[in-house]
Amino acid sequence: MRSRRVVPVALALVLGLSIWEWISVASSRWLPGIVEVAVAAVGILDSETLMADLGATIRRVLTVWLATVVVGVAIGVAAGFWWWLRALLRPVLAVALAIPDLVYIIMVVLILGTAESSGLISLVLAIAPLVINVSMNAVLERDIRLDEMSRTYRLNKFDYARSVLWWQIRPALHAATVTAFAFSWKLMVLLEAVTTSTGVGARIMEEFRYLRPAEMIAYALVFTVLMKFAEVAVVDRLFSDRVPGSAAQPRRLQDA
């Protein structure tokens, strides 16, 4: 059974690397080859600035992610229960979800300046609508019959939230949380490339300016591997156990 999973992954890896190498040769090495990128990656891992850059980026990613999840879930759940808030939010969400993320960054920087906090606010504004939308719809899709049962048996608000609502909205909150994390680190690289001189995004931009594509790709790969590891090892595990008593599996928006 294990080989049935390993073989396709190994094949995809070999195929991907082969295509990469072929494009590298075909482009007269404008795209650096695999060995070149590997050498650059070793150099980056040895560099003195890597930890400082990673630390700055991870701190910003965590700040944006936590703020997005807390604000987004709170507003989304509230909107799921209160029609007037929902009526207010729906047109705002329709517009907010359609605006390209880069526009948020540009607009907030124009209004609030280039301080680090401006960038973080812009990312929260860019990602929160997604979390709000998912949370709100999860609450709206809850089983109203269980609400009626809860009212009949006089469940207090805490018991209702913990025993009735939570398990119904949890799969959607899982999807929203994981997706918000993915957006947070991907957009953070973009934000740092555009607005700051520290962090992984700034390093990638710097390597691009100096026309060092191998280093640029190596930085991106190192950071991507680290973030994917964090996503699988930490973020995904926040909701890793199945909903008891059912075979329901958590959904992931980014896999759709």
Partner 1 sequence: MNAQLTFAPAEASFVELSDISIGYGDKVAVENVGLTIGPGEFVSIIGPSGCGKSTLLHVLAGLLDVRSGSVSCRDEDVTGQVGRHLRAGYVFQDHRLLPWKTVRQNIEIAMRSAHVPKADWNARVERYLALLQVSDHVDAWPMNLSGGQRQRVSIARALAVAPDVVLMDEPFSGLDEVTARTIRVELDRLRVTEAVPTLFVTHSIREALYLSDRVVVFSRGPATVLREVEIDLPRPRDYNDPVLVALERELVDAVLAVWEPTAGQVTSS
Cα–Cα–Cα angle for 205, 227, 56, rounded to 5 degrees: 55
**Amino acid identity, position 250:** P
Contact between 70 and partner 1 per CB under 8 A: no
Contact between 237 and partner 1 per CB under 8 A: no
Of 128 and 165, the one with the shorter C-beta distance to partner 1 is 165
Other Cβ atoms within 10 Å of 185 Cβ, number? 24
Of 28 and 156, the one with the shorter C-beta distance to partner 1 is 156
Of 18 and 163, the one with the shorter C-beta distance to partner 1 is 163
Contact between 156 and partner 1 per CB under 8 A: yes
Are 235 and 158 a contacting pair, CB within 8 Å? no
Contact between 249 and partner 1 per CB under 8 A: no
For residues 23 and 205, what is the distance between their CA atoms, to the nearest angstrom? 23
Report how far apart, in Å, the C-alpha atoms of 137 and of each of 7, 169, 170, 256 are.
39, 9, 12, 17
Which part of the chain contacts partner 1 (CB under 8 A), choosing from 1-9, 119-127, 163-171, 221-229?
Answer: 163-171
Contact between 153 and partner 1 per CB under 8 A: yes
Contact between 141 and partner 1 per CB under 8 A: no
- How many binding residues for partner 1 (CB under 8 A)? 18
Dihedral, 10, 11, 13, 14 alpha carbons, nearest 10: 110
* Closest approach of partner 1 to the CB of residue 159, in Å: 6
Tokens of 200: 């992984």
Residues that bind partner 1 (CB under 8 A): 145-146, 148-149, 151-156, 159, 163-164, 167, 243-246
